[in-house]
Amino acid sequence: MAADHQIHMLNYGDQGGMVFEPGYLQVAPGDTVTFVPDNTGHSVKSQWLPEGVEPWQSPLNEPFTVTLDQEGVYLYFCPPHLMMNMTGVIQVGDSAGQQAEVEKAASGLSRRAFQNKGRLADYMQKISWAK
Ligand SMILES: [Cu+2]
């Protein structure tokens, strides 16, 4: 039974300004995630994806649904608000591989953030990596 999860795109949330909520989400393979534009001015673009997954990018101000079949870590961001660290992490499955590569991709995103520093690093702490 695949579940649908929602990630809200907000101008202001519990984690500060220009934010995806929840910023970290764990789902089961085959689940879908819908990005919901509660406020205007946001979109979502994939940054790091498990091998074989096609990159995705949503139109501005429109709900966007992705199906997450492949286990692993998915990193994404809002192109208009990358400087505010409007980023997020989805973990598909119980444990994730490729820790070094994912952390490198995350630090590349974080380097471009001038506000909300540390937000993506906090999300990254929640990933359960493969042993
Ligand atoms: Cu945004």
Task: Report the pLDDT value the prediction gives residue 131, as an integer from 0 to 100.
Answer: 66
Domains contained in the chain, number? 1
Residue 129 DSSP label: B
Q: Kindly report the CATH number assigned to the domain that includes residue 100.
A: 2.60.40.420
Instruction: Give the SS3 label for residue 91.
Output: strand
78 annotated to a ligand binding site: yes
Smallest Cα–Cα separation from 116: which of 82, 89, 90? 82
Greater confidence, 52 or 131? 52
* 115 domain-assigned: yes
Cα of 130 from ligand 1 centre, angstroms? 31
Domain that holds residue 34: 4-124
Task: Report the pLDDT value the prediction gives residue 58, as an integer from 0 to 100.
Answer: 98
Each residue's pLDDT tens digit, 96-130: 889 999 999 999 999 999 999 999 999 999 999 98
Task: Report the pLDDT value the prediction gives residue 93, as an integer from 0 to 100.
Answer: 94
Task: Report the pLDDT value the prediction gives residue 68, as an integer from 0 to 100.
Answer: 97
Cα of 42 from ligand 1 centre, angstroms? 4
Each residue's pLDDT tens digit, 5-16: 999 999 999 989
83 annotated to a ligand binding site: no
Distance from chain centroid for Cα 103: 13
